[in-house]
Structure 1
Amino acid sequence: MHSDSALRAPTSVGSSASGAARWLVAVDRVLGRCIELVAVTLILLEVVILFSGVVARYVLHVPLVWTDELASILFLWLSMLGAVIALRRGQHMRMTAFIDRVSPHTRLLLEGFALSASMAFLVLFLYPAFEYAYEESYIVTPALEISNAWHAAALPTGIALMILTSATRMAMTASRKQLFTSLGVTLALLAAFWLAQPWLMELGKFNLVIFFVIVVAAGVFSGVPIAFSFALATFGYLTLTTQTPIVVMVGRLNEGMSHLILLAVPLFIFLGALIEMTGMARAMIQFLASCLGRVRGGLSYVLIGAMYLVSGISGSKIADMAAITPVLFPEMEKRGAKKGELVALLSATGAQTETIPPSIVLITIGSVTGVSIAALFTGGILPAVVLGLCLCVVVGWRYRGENMAQVPKVPAREIFRLLMIALPAISLPFVIRAAVVEGVATATEVSTIGVVYSVVLGLVVYRQFDWKRITPILVETATLSGAIMLIIGCATAMAWALTQSGFSSDLAALMAGVPGGGYGFLIISVIAFIILGSILEGIPAIVLFGPLLFPVARALHIHDVHYSIVVIFAMGIGLFAPPFGVGYYGACAISKVDPSEGMRHIWGYVVALLVGLMIVTFVPWISTGFIK
């Protein structure tokens, strides 16, 4: 994942800085800290509220009817405040493959354009957001019986705070000349589009190409965060080519960010950080390593297995990699493994484990398409095994000549001891899956069971719980969640605009005539999502195109779960394969390996993933055979 790190807030000012500049930095720090503390409190409240609902329903048999409603209200506030923190820290998702290759002067101009374009949307969107919150004030919530303004007010509040944050970034930047140039370019483009409105109104559906292809591509490749690129294109299309009030776009954005099931995103991110901090991940990996340590390429097999297990707990690929890398990589390097080979396999396992529950992508695709989360959780397990076996074939070939003479044999007694230590941790993925599949808890609620379970294990079993790390972990959780949820909201609004334009019906008619019927459609979908995954990342690609393509798949009699698994794997391969896949660069950053070192080693694994994907694509039973 790439973020707009160049736009982060300065942490200090020079000795020659004016008193006003020092005052501005101080105010920015205080405001930022206050927002972070509120976001941290909201995450903890969400855990308490949802876990209380599970206990009341299944233990006390006294359901609390207001828990979901309150959790939903707090979730939108958490998402918007998280988006503010992400903007302040420069961690909104964006593509930097192009701007990383330009000259420093050009890069500064593009960074300034990214900031000014984002702020332009926020300023234009602020009044409609207030208007939407005002209209919602007349609606009373069914369970709590309070005004829905408590929910909707999160949107204008978050947007106003992001405007303030952007203005602070601009005021504190040292590159004033480049910033003013970028501001001028942004204002000139806005004026040009506004003046071109009469001409645009006559173009009809060609406006879809102008706004949703050219404008989005220009924004993404110039470094504008993906969420704001989507939002600007949608805002421009609705304002300049339709009579639709922008308050409707606010409603669609709110709808995309308010799905209660998506509350699982921050809670599983938090859970992923907990399993690393409490030593649960280390316990599982040590057990696997003791079993396979003397097998040629054994630690590579351990890496594949560990990613499979840890993915079942955290739901976040970055968290998975961060938990595994410090434990395995040092020992693998001692045995002569090259850093490039290690990061290549790590990146490949990121794509391989995309469908292992409780994957955030699974939860997202279920929320936007209406596919059963329990069915997705069941259907995603075996396909990941198929891709993992394909990776194991490559590992076996590459390490067929490894010398194991110097590797000590682990006694059976020691393996058993490590199993007993790891057993509580290994049990967690199965507890999570069983709770959802058996209906004990929803996909959102089960994350709180995992959090409580991990805290108890860290305190009682593993005796490894650093209280000082909790607040930073929660802040990082809010930051990543805010960035993800803003993308989902903006992509939802964009998908709605595309649907209203008639694009979805045109696409359905086009796809219905694809040669090869259902399998031809699946192949085209694989190619499309590999490309989309490498450019837009997984979640925005799924949110944007899922609602458009799933009706086509159903018309071609393709099972919803099967189609979900195929497109998620395709997206994952694009996400974790160079040169554009940002997941690959995330793996390199976590491993502290130069991306160029992994390029030569990764293609064998990419071919293995593609072979596995073809097997899953043409054998639907792998995805649907165990669904009740």
Structure 2
Amino acid sequence: MHAPATSALGTGRGPVAHLLACSDAVAAFLLAADLVVVIGSVLARSLFGAPVEWSDDVARGLMVGSSFFGAASAVARAENPGVTFFADRLGPAARRRLDALGAVLVAVISAIVSYNALRLGWLTAGQTTGSGLPLEWTFLPMGGGALLMTVFALDIALRRPRRDLAEAAGLLALAAGGFLGIAALAPESLPDPGWFMGIGFVVALVGGLPIGFSIALAALIYIWVDGNLPGVIFAQQMARGIDNFVLLAIPFFILVGYLMEANGMSVRLIELLQRLVGRMRGGLNVVMVLSMVLFSGISGSKMADVAAVGSVLIPAARRSRQDPGQAVALLAASAVMAETIPPCINLIILGFVANLSIGGLFMAGLIPSALMAAALIGVSVLFGTKAALAAEIVPDGSLRRMWIGAIVSLGLIAMIFIGFKSGFATATESSAFAVLYAIVVGAAVFGELSWRALARSFVHAATRSGLVLFIVAAAQALAFVLTLQQVPHALGDLMVGLSQSSGTWLFMLLSIAILIVMGSVLEGAAALIIFGPLLMPVAGQLGIDPLHFGVVLVIAMGIGLFAPPLGLGLYGACLIGHVPIERTVRPILGYLGLIFACLLLIAFVPVLSTGLPRLLGY
């Protein structure tokens, strides 16, 4: 799942390990400060009628800083996802050289991000935001986090064999020198900068460079080859990509997922489902689907859901002598099903980049997810067998204790929905109160959340959200470059022309195909950020409801994310279940075929997506 260009720092006590501890602490502290600002702002507005004007600016600035320090920690721990399918098939020597090249590229890209962010902070000194706060407070923490990222990347690169590093540096110097030479001697022979950008992106992605860095590299190549844009534009666009209050829901919902695991909510919910339906035909598979339904409605993070459910139910599948490859495949398919269950992070991201109502998308995704869940449960019951070892599936323990745990956990879901539907709080603010609920109520009821576990949850959430938001930031920079090249306009004209000659159904099928393919090679957020704004205006021209089309895009992206052989989500599920991907390919294709059939029904019966939002006034 992670790129070969990085390797874990280990547990040493050297200076870099101390820097990693500092990076963790800063990222977690900024996330905690963000939580205090958001909750304090809502309480001041709602209870005392005194809105805090500077709260949004401070919250966004804290999020940018936390994201980049968290992304730095992710680099240090080699958690950045990348496509390793092709690199894994190389021989040892070629793979070693490719790893060295990737390590050098990660360090170079990180250094460029840091330099331009710090320079942008210096250039904006004296300027203020709308509420009067210094503008450089956004860019300087971003530059500091990227600087730590550079240190971690250099440390990893220097662990490579010196000969491999020298070859990698020489290859990059040769490529840059060759371009500069041709540009000086025969500039008219050079192709459009977009070709260099596209080739660089594909080569980096196929070579296993982490996705966020592959996207950033593509944007940087265009800026460098074009020569008309200052480097600070790159940093400005990256900051703009995540400098939005809506996206703050991402780290908060990820944090809820980690807190639920730390305070015992996760295990109690799954145990109750095992007790209620574990003995029925195909019971363990039904439990898995229902668990993903519930967890996606709480944590919002797909991989957090997969980890929470898989860590409990995959071992149960092994104990009951079921095929663990089949169980991991169903877990992955259930994650696709749960892509449109609020408060899914990808729904939040699409609502942000496409300027759609987050609440409307949440409501639009409920019936489609219920349809897919029903299909998966039906197949599980129809083709499942009654558990031969029910004692290994159905846990012992107090049923009353399980019900109390489930009620407390479901209270979290109710609070999220009631919060933004009543108008008391936005989706982002509801996510902040969900964190507070998980800390206070979860700790008070179960008594399992220690201070150490709480701090660890904040660190994990900051790192994971930093990883996601770095990809979002890089994708915004690439989207900016694509806009300069008028790619959205050209794609819109092409799609409208095809639809006028062949019908709207062709546009819908092409959109599904694009998101499945791109979802398989890009992390889900990146695919939505790049292609959502490109396709959404075309759908509007063709009279397709934006909420309906948004749900279709998210499901299609989810299929790609978990589709073999490139789907990064499937690799993550296999790592969590400790199962080779080869054992999951056959069953996952069957499950994804079922999900795809449901997607076609959802795509061509719009009322499945639009009925509930219209009923509720969205």
Same fold (TM over 0.5): yes
Match in the other structure for 1:18: none
Question: Take 1:286 and 1:543, find their aligned partners in 2: how far apart are those partners?
Answer: 37
2:531 is aligned with 1:541: no
Query: Which of 67, 77, 92 is the matching residue for 1:89?
Result: 77
2:232 is aligned with 1:247: yes
| Deviation of 1:397 (Å) | 2.8
Match in the other structure for 2:442: 458
Instruction: Please list the CA deviations of residues 510-541 of structure 1 after superposition, one character each: whole Å capped at 9, or x if unmatched.
Output: 00012443221111011111111110121011
Match in the other structure for 1:518: 504
Match in the other structure for 2:282: 297
Q: Does structure 2 conserve the Cα–Cα contact (< 8 Å) formed by 1:201 and 1:241?
A: no
| Deviation of 1:403 (Å) | 5.9
Aligned residues: 611
Match in the other structure for 2:68: 80
* Residues 42/484 of structure 1: CA separation in 2 closer, same or farther (3 Å cut): same
| Deviation of 1:206 (Å) | 4.5
Matches within 5 A, 1:123-202: 123-143=111-131, 145-171=132-158, 173-197=159-183, 202=188
Q: Does structure 1 conserve the Cα–Cα contact (< 8 Å) formed by 2:523 and 2:561?
A: yes
Question: Take 1:492 and 1:105, find their aligned partners in 2: how far apart are those partners?
Answer: 36
Q: Aligned partner of 1:150: which letter?
A: W
| Deviation of 1:405 (Å) | 9.2
Deviates more, 1:501-510 or 1:113-122: 113-122
Question: Take 1:502 and 1:410, find their aligned partners in 2: how far apart are those partners?
Answer: 57
Matches within 5 A, 1:28-43: 28-43=16-31
Question: Take 2:392 and 2:149, find their aligned partners in 1: how far apart are those partners?
Answer: 56
| Deviation of 1:82 (Å) | 1.3
Match in the other structure for 2:607: 621
Q: Aligned partner of 2:9: which letter?
A: A
* Secondary structure at the counterpart of residue 469 of structure 1: helix
| Deviation of 1:242 (Å) | 5.0
Matches within 5 A, 1:417-428: 418-428=402-412
Unaligned segments of structure 1, at least 5 residues:
13-24
Match in the other structure for 1:318: 303
* Secondary structure at the counterpart of residue 513 of structure 1: helix
| Deviation of 1:374 (Å) | 0.9
2:42 is aligned with 1:54: yes
2:481 is aligned with 1:497: yes
Q: Aligned partner of 2:431: which letter?
A: S
Question: Take 1:391 and 1:200, find their aligned partners in 2: how far apart are those partners?
Answer: 60
| Deviation of 1:406 (Å) | 6.1
Q: Does structure 1 conserve the Cα–Cα contact (< 8 Å) formed by 2:319 and 2:392?
A: no
Q: Does structure 1 conserve the Cα–Cα contact (< 8 Å) formed by 2:57 and 2:133?
A: no
Query: Which of 339, 357, 360 is the matching residue for 1:372?
Result: 357
| Deviation of 1:317 (Å) | 1.4
* Residues 457/5 of structure 1: CA separation in 2 closer, same or farther (3 Å cut): farther
Match in the other structure for 1:572: 558
Deviates more, 1:151-160 or 1:568-577: 151-160
Question: Take 1:498 and 1:458, find their aligned partners in 2: how far apart are those partners?
Answer: 46
Matches within 5 A, 1:90-109: 90-109=78-97
* Residues 405/496 of structure 1: CA separation in 2 closer, same or farther (3 Å cut): closer
Match in the other structure for 1:286: 271
Q: Does structure 2 conserve the Cα–Cα contact (< 8 Å) formed by 1:374 and 1:436?
A: yes
Question: Take 2:261 and 2:326, find their aligned partners in 1: how far apart are those partners?
Answer: 24
* Secondary structure at the counterpart of residue 128 of structure 1: helix
Q: Does structure 1 conserve the Cα–Cα contact (< 8 Å) formed by 2:241 and 2:472?
A: yes
Instruction: Please list the CA deviations of residues 127-157 of structure 1 after superposition, one character each: whole Å capped at 9, or x if unmatched.
Output: 43333222322321232x2321111212332
2:327 is aligned with 1:327: no
Q: Aligned partner of 2:347: which letter?
A: L
* Secondary structure at the counterpart of residue 298 of structure 2: helix
Question: Take 1:219 and 1:291, find their aligned partners in 2: how far apart are those partners?
Answer: 48
Match in the other structure for 1:474: 458
Unaligned segments of structure 2, at least 5 residues:
none
Q: Aligned partner of 2:2: which letter?
A: H
Match in the other structure for 2:195: 209
Q: Aligned partner of 2:23: which letter?
A: I
Match in the other structure for 1:21: none
- Percent of residue pairs identical: 33
* Secondary structure at the counterpart of residue 182 of structure 1: helix
Deviates more, 1:446-455 or 1:125-134: 125-134
| Deviation of 1:103 (Å) | 1.7
Question: Take 1:108 and 1:591, find their aligned partners in 2: how far apart are those partners?
Answer: 28
Q: Aligned partner of 1:260: which letter?
A: F
2:32 is aligned with 1:44: yes
* Residues 137/326 of structure 1: CA separation in 2 closer, same or farther (3 Å cut): same
Question: Take 2:470 and 2:252, find their aligned partners in 1: how far apart are those partners?
Answer: 16
Question: Take 2:267 and 2:148, find their aligned partners in 1: how far apart are those partners?
Answer: 40
| Deviation of 1:358 (Å) | 0.9
Query: Which of 393, 406, 413 is the matching residue for 2:378?
Result: 393
* Secondary structure at the counterpart of residue 64 of structure 1: coil
| Deviation of 1:237 (Å) | 1.3
Question: Take 1:87 and 1:416, find their aligned partners in 2: how far apart are those partners?
Answer: 44
Question: Take 1:149 and 1:443, find their aligned partners in 2: how far apart are those partners?
Answer: 28
TM-score by length of 2: 0.93
* Residues 330/127 of structure 1: CA separation in 2 closer, same or farther (3 Å cut): closer
Question: Take 2:3 and 2:298, find their aligned partners in 1: how far apart are those partners?
Answer: 25
Question: Take 2:299 and 2:185, find their aligned partners in 1: how far apart are those partners?
Answer: 50
Q: Does structure 2 conserve the Cα–Cα contact (< 8 Å) formed by 1:197 and 1:241?
A: no
Q: Does structure 1 conserve the Cα–Cα contact (< 8 Å) formed by 2:6 and 2:103?
A: no
Match in the other structure for 1:429: 413
Question: Take 2:479 and 2:190, find their aligned partners in 1: how far apart are those partners?
Answer: 18
* Residues 142/6 of structure 1: CA separation in 2 closer, same or farther (3 Å cut): closer
* Secondary structure at the counterpart of residue 449 of structure 2: coil
Question: Take 1:374 and 1:124, find their aligned partners in 2: how far apart are those partners?
Answer: 37
Instruction: Please list the CA deviations of residues 406-447 of structure 1 after superposition, one character each: whole Å capped at 9, or x if unmatched.
Output: 679999x97677434411212211221221222221121111
Query: Which of 336, 344, 349 is the matching residue for 2:329?
Result: 344
Q: Does structure 1 conserve the Cα–Cα contact (< 8 Å) formed by 2:412 and 2:434?
A: yes
Match in the other structure for 1:448: 432
* Residues 397/202 of structure 1: CA separation in 2 closer, same or farther (3 Å cut): farther
| Deviation of 1:230 (Å) | 1.6
* Residues 124/369 of structure 1: CA separation in 2 closer, same or farther (3 Å cut): same
Instruction: Please list the CA deviations of residues 264-284 of structure 1 after superposition, one character each: whole Å capped at 9, or x if unmatched.
Output: 111111110111121112222
Question: Take 2:217 and 2:185, find their aligned partners in 1: how far apart are those partners?
Answer: 19
* Residues 376/200 of structure 1: CA separation in 2 closer, same or farther (3 Å cut): farther
Question: Take 1:543 and 1:189, find their aligned partners in 2: how far apart are those partners?
Answer: 30
* Residues 407/519 of structure 1: CA separation in 2 closer, same or farther (3 Å cut): same
* Residues 565/170 of structure 1: CA separation in 2 closer, same or farther (3 Å cut): same
* Secondary structure at the counterpart of residue 608 of structure 1: helix
Match in the other structure for 2:101: 113
| Deviation of 1:11 (Å) | 4.1
2:53 is aligned with 1:65: yes
* Secondary structure at the counterpart of residue 609 of structure 1: helix
Q: Does structure 2 conserve the Cα–Cα contact (< 8 Å) formed by 1:283 and 1:422?
A: yes
Instruction: Please list the CA deviations of residues 571-599 of structure 1 after superposition, one character each: whole Å capped at 9, or x if unmatched.
Output: 10111121111111111111122222222
Deviates more, 1:88-97 or 1:332-341: 332-341
| Deviation of 1:6 (Å) | 4.1
Match in the other structure for 2:8: 8
Question: Take 1:522 and 1:245, find their aligned partners in 2: how far apart are those partners?
Answer: 38
* Residues 199/107 of structure 1: CA separation in 2 closer, same or farther (3 Å cut): same
* Residues 398/240 of structure 1: CA separation in 2 closer, same or farther (3 Å cut): same
Instruction: Please list the CA deviations of residues 203-236 of structure 1 after superposition, one character each: whole Å capped at 9, or x if unmatched.
Output: 7984323312x11010011121222222222122
Deviates more, 1:347-356 or 1:124-133: 124-133
| Deviation of 1:241 (Å) | 2.4
